């Protein structure tokens, strides 16, 4: 690059303020992840996180509105990775049945949860009940929903799904089973991870059956009356 173009190519240049903030945010996120994964969510105290991140206690709540949001901070990163992996796997088999593509997505999250069940349980408790504005967590939640909807849309264009069922509602119906079995597994641990995964797949296939396009040559019959 010629020395003539000295006035910063396009970056607005980062002031000291911005840099310090970014560094602190990273330190906090790292500290939170390490402690949460090692000790669990409840057992980790805000004071520990602050100490490990080398910031004051109050500073923590400048970067996260409360302890739960520290959890999301950690999870956001991870789930972007999982989303990308799932997308790649789906692209590799464009004609795979809907259930299989859904399991590429759901299964990856189950795998992630399996490695840190306590953290995952805390996460999901907050995930499904969020009294916040749809900021942070809402975005993730929405992204998940959209991804499922995209898979449904594919299946619909392949006529695996009836066309008179709105995509969003079909996606909800499928997601419901994922939520249920995840909760059944992580919430009370009465079912193992393998059981949950297997039953989820089964439930999804029954669900797809209910959303399936009827055979082409079907005529109005009285068998699906009122």
Partner DNA sequence: CCATTTTTATGAACGTGTTCATAATAGGGT
Partner DNA sequence: ACCCTATTATGAACACGTTCATAAAAATGG
Residue from 117, 165, 167, 193 in contact with a second copy (CB under 8 A): 165
Tell me if 55 contacts DNA by CB under 7 A: yes
- Residue 86 C-beta: closest distance to a second copy, Å: 21
User: Considering beta carbons, is residue 53 or 124 the nearer one to a second copy?
Assistant: 124
**Nearest distance in Å: CB 217, a second copy:** 10
Cα separation, 71 vs 132, whole angstroms: 14
The verdict on 24 binding DNA (CB under 7 A) reads: yes
* Relative orientation angle of helices 67-92 and 117-128, to the nearest 10 degrees: 100
Max CA-CA distance within the chain?
Answer: 81
CB pairs under 8 A, 24+ apart, for 140-146?
Answer: 140/72, 140/75, 140/76, 140/79, 143/83, 144/175, 145/171, 145/172, 145/175
132 binds DNA (CB under 7 A): no
Comparing C-alpha atoms, which of 128, 137, 101 is closest to residue 182? 128
* Cβ distance to DNA smaller for residue 2 or 12: 12
Q: How far apart are CA 161 and CA 208, in angstroms?
A: 7
The answer to whether 215 contacts a second copy (rule: CB under 8 A) is: yes
Q: Does 67 bind DNA (CB under 7 A)?
A: yes
Q: Which does 128 bind (CB under 5 to 8 A by kind): a second copy, DNA, none?
A: a second copy
Residues lying near DNA in the complex (CB under 7 A): 15-18, 20-21, 24, 44-47, 55-63, 65-68
């Amino acid at each position: 690059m010629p020395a003539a173009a000295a006035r910063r190519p396009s970056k607005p240049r980062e002031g000291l303020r911005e840099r310090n903030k970014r560094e602190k945010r990273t330190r906090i996120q790292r500290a939170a992840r390490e402690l949460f994964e090692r000790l669990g969510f409840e057992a980790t105290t805000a004071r520990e996180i602050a100490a490990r991140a080398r910031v004051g206690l109050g500073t923590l709540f400048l970067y996260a509105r409360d302890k739960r949001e520290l959890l999301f901070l950690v999870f956001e990163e991870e789930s972007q990775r999982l989303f990308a992996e799932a997308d790649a796997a789906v692209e590799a088999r464009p004609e795979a049945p809907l259930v299989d593509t859904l399991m590429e997505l759901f299964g990856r999250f189950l795998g992630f949860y399996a490695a840190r069940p306590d953290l995952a349980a805390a996460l999901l408790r907050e995930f499904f009940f969020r009294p916040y504005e749809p900021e942070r967590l809402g975005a993730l939640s929405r992204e998940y929903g959209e991804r499922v909807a995209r898979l449904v849309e594919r299946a619909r264009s392949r006529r695996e799904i009836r066309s008179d069922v709105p995509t969003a509602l079909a996606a909800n119906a499928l997601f419901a089973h994922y939520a249920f079995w995840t909760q059944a597994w992580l919430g009370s641990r009465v079912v193992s991870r393998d059981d949950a995964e297997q039953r989820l797949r089964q439930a999804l296939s029954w669900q797809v059956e209910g959303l399936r396009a009827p055979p082409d040559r079907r005529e109005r019959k009285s068998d699906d009356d009122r």
